[in-house]
Chains A and B, each alone.
Chain A
Amino acid sequence: MNRFFEKFLLGCAWASALLLVTTIFCIVGYLIIKGAETLNLKLIFGNTDPVDALLLKRQVFDGLFPAIVGTLLLVLLSVVWAIPVGIASGIYLAEYAGKKINRALNLLLDILAGIPSIVVGLFGFSVALVLHKHFSEDIYPCLLISSLALALLVLPYIVRTTQVSLENLSSETRLTALALGATKLQNIFYVLIPKSLSGIASGVILAIGRCAEDTAVIMLTGVVATAGVPHSVFANYEALPFYIYYISAQYADRQELLTGYGAAIILLTLCVILFFSAFVIKKQLAYYSLYRT
């Protein structure tokens, strides 16, 4: 009786693994099968000459180029906002904070990490609205507001990974420089940070991946379906994940639907590469910092 039950459980475990693997293969396979035919330069640049488009001399209308550029700019800006604040907070929490402050700040950051992305987007939209009404007529949902909201979204990732990497250093590493007469600050910047660089870097890359794939936040803070390459940070812009969402809901004809598949493949590849690099960098940097003299 018991044996039968155990065999049954084993079977269930294998079945669930099989189910999961089949599902993901179906999903990715479906995308590739349907979208592989569109993967060429025309998908990205439409009817415009690629060189002209890249030099921003001519606009691209039927291609993904504006969306790709939009996503890249968005990610870049968000990371610029998030990294300094995130790493600084992480250092503070790991090195300086007393027990009580630590608990309080950690609780708040955990809540921030758990807030649904659409609520963060709502917050960004409300801030833009309030600023528009009370400060300047020129402020409205745009690339800048989106990047600030996205920075807010990924901040907990960076803070958490910095904090955990710093805390996981062995006490010998921590105390050596101090024993030799370095100040706390010198210890942090010359010893501790370089040693935890792999953890911090992987946190940053995870944050980048999160920024690239997020749709809910940008939907509320300035992304539109058609905007071309943004000329300034106060302009509307396009982004890949929003393009995919938009196409899935309202494609005008079969051709547009195919570009949706192509965009999905590009986005998937981008995110997977980022994720993969996070793991690789973490391993490489760890190796590098452990074994070099």
Chain B
Amino acid sequence: MIKIHEKLIEKVLLLSASVSASLTILILGFMIVLGLPLLTGGLFFDLLTQPWSPRQELYGIYPMVMGTLAIAFLGVLFACPLSLGCASLISVLGPRPVSLFLKRIVQFMTGVPTVIYGFVGVFLLVPFIRELFQAGSGMCVLSASLMLAVLVSPTMILFFSDSFNQVPASYLNAVDALGGSRVQKLLYIVLPCAWRGILTGLVLGTGRALGDTLIALMIAGNAVQAPGSVLDSARTLTSHIALVIAADYESLEFKSIFACGIVLYMFTTLAVIGIRAFNPSDRKTTL
């Protein structure tokens, strides 16, 4: 009697787990099916390389792919040294009170909603950039990537900091015993040991940056052209989806956002597989 009861519960639990996992596949399936007209006949590669001009029946998402890559990579470029510096201070270099204070601030930052960053960006950062560079409207790749760097830094900092803390204590003690300074400890022991963690953190940060919608939507200007300079207005795949969702959903225009969705899905999958390649046994990574 108990055995049947147990088996039943086990099956129910299995069901929930399968439902959770299969939803992932379902999402991909929906996008492929709904975007079908654009995907058949090798049209997909055309899509990735053409510009966006509905009047001329061109539904290419190339400008948006470029926009996403530009903003995300620039954002991570700004965030990387910032995060490494802060993480080093928290885990290795800083005196105890400073380290604790900084850690609390960073933990606080992870709780700040994205829309708040976007909101402040529109009213504080955009006019600043506009006046500083005296060109364009201030709504550009540069503003968006600066704000994005602020957004992804806390996650990256906490992650780097965790990796730094996992360096075996014996190594750290050895450095102290030899009379090394904290910076030397960081430079010659901690960083080399934690390189996997750093790489993983970078990939995580990039994944987060690639998938962010609001900051690009509110700050980057949303022009449909591949950005030529950091002061150009640009549109990302994510904000393209948000903007075009309002269009006629039987039109090819609308179907192009499923292509965007598929591209984003592929970026995510690549990131996840990349992380697993660096950390075969570690499953503690959270996005």
Chain A residues close to B by CB (< 8 Å): 6-7, 9-10, 12-17, 19-21, 23-24, 26-27, 30-31, 84-86, 88-89, 91-93, 96-97, 104-123, 125-127, 129-130, 152, 155-157, 159-160, 164, 183-185, 209, 212-213, 215-216, 219-220, 241, 244-245, 248-249, 260, 264, 267-268, 271-272, 274-276, 279
Q: Which of A17, A24, A119, A123 contacts B89 (CB 8 A)?
A: A17
Say whether B100 faces chain A, with CB atoms less than 8 Å apart: no
* In the bound complex, CA of A156 to CA of B23 (Å): 11
Using CB atoms, name the residue of chain B closest to A13: B85
* In the bound complex, CA of A113 to CA of B207 (Å): 11
Say whether B199 faces chain A, with CB atoms less than 8 Å apart: no
B31 touches A123 (CB 8 A): yes
- Taking CB atoms, residues of chain B closer than 8 Å to A275 are 107-108, 110-111
Using CB atoms, name the residue of chain B closest to A116: B211
A88 touches B34 (CB 8 A): no
- Taking CB atoms, residues of chain A closer than 8 Å to B157 are 20
A84 touches B16 (CB 8 A): yes
B16 touches A114 (CB 8 A): no
- Taking CB atoms, residues of chain B closer than 8 Å to A114 are 207, 211, 268-269, 271-272, 287
B14 touches A96 (CB 8 A): yes
Q: Which of A21, A126, A212 contacts B30 (CB 8 A)?
A: A126
- Taking CB atoms, residues of chain B closer than 8 Å to A157 are 286
B115 touches A109 (CB 8 A): no
Residues A185 and B9 in contact in the complex (CB < 8 Å), given A108-B21, A111-B272, A118-B213? yes
Separation in Å of the A284 CB from the closest CB of chain B? 17
Beyond contacts A245-B118, A267-B116: 16 other A-B pairs, Cβ-Cβ < 8 A, are: A15-B85, A16-B85, A17-B98, A88-B12, A93-B17, A110-B287, A113-B286, A115-B24, A115-B265, A122-B257, A122-B258, A185-B6, A220-B241, A244-B119, A271-B111, A272-B111
- Taking CB atoms, residues of chain B closer than 8 Å to A105 are 17-18, 20-21
- Taking CB atoms, residues of chain B closer than 8 Å to A260 are 119
Residues A111 and B286 in contact in the complex (CB < 8 Å), given A116-B213, A116-B264? no
A117 touches B16 (CB 8 A): no
Q: Which of B252-282 contact A (CB under 8 A)?
A: 257-258, 261, 264-265, 268-269, 271-272, 275-276
B contacts with A, residue count (CB < 8 A):
92
The stretch of B36-44, B48-56, B57-65, B179-187 that contacts the partner chain? B179-187
* In the bound complex, CA of A279 to CA of B110 (Å): 12
* In the bound complex, CA of A62 to CA of B261 (Å): 36
Say whether B86 faces chain A, with CB atoms less than 8 Å apart: yes
Q: Which of A130, A184, A272 contacts B108 (CB 8 A)?
A: A272
User: Once A and B bind, how many residue pairs between them come within 8 Å at the CB atom?
Assistant: 253
A248 touches B213 (CB 8 A): no
Say whether B81 faces chain A, with CB atoms less than 8 Å apart: yes
- Taking CB atoms, residues of chain A closer than 8 Å to B119 are 31, 244-245, 248, 260, 264
Separation in Å of the B107 CB from the closest CB of chain A? 7
Chain B residues close to A by CB (< 8 Å): 2, 5-6, 9-10, 12-14, 16-27, 30-31, 34, 81-86, 88-89, 93-94, 98, 102, 105-120, 122-124, 150, 153, 157, 181-184, 186-187, 207, 210-214, 217-218, 238, 241-242, 245, 249, 257-258, 261, 264-265, 268-269, 271-272, 275-276, 283-287
- Taking CB atoms, residues of chain B closer than 8 Å to A14 are 85, 89
- Taking CB atoms, residues of chain A closer than 8 Å to B268 are 111, 114-116
Separation in Å of the B275 CB from the closest CB of chain A? 8
B5 touches A216 (CB 8 A): no
- Taking CB atoms, residues of chain A closer than 8 Å to B84 are 16
- Taking CB atoms, residues of chain B closer than 8 Å to A126 are 30-31, 34
* In the bound complex, CA of A272 to CA of B14 (Å): 35
B269 touches A216 (CB 8 A): no
A241 touches B24 (CB 8 A): no
B187 touches A216 (CB 8 A): no
Q: Which of B16, B182, B272 contacts A110 (CB 8 A)?
A: B272
Residues A129 and B249 in contact in the complex (CB < 8 Å), given A6-B183, A31-B116? yes
* In the bound complex, CA of A112 to CA of B23 (Å): 8
* In the bound complex, CA of A117 to CA of B111 (Å): 16
- Taking CB atoms, residues of chain A closer than 8 Å to B276 are 107, 110
* In the bound complex, CA of A235 to CA of B241 (Å): 23
A248 touches B118 (CB 8 A): yes
Using CB atoms, name the residue of chain B closest to A243: B115
A17 touches B102 (CB 8 A): yes
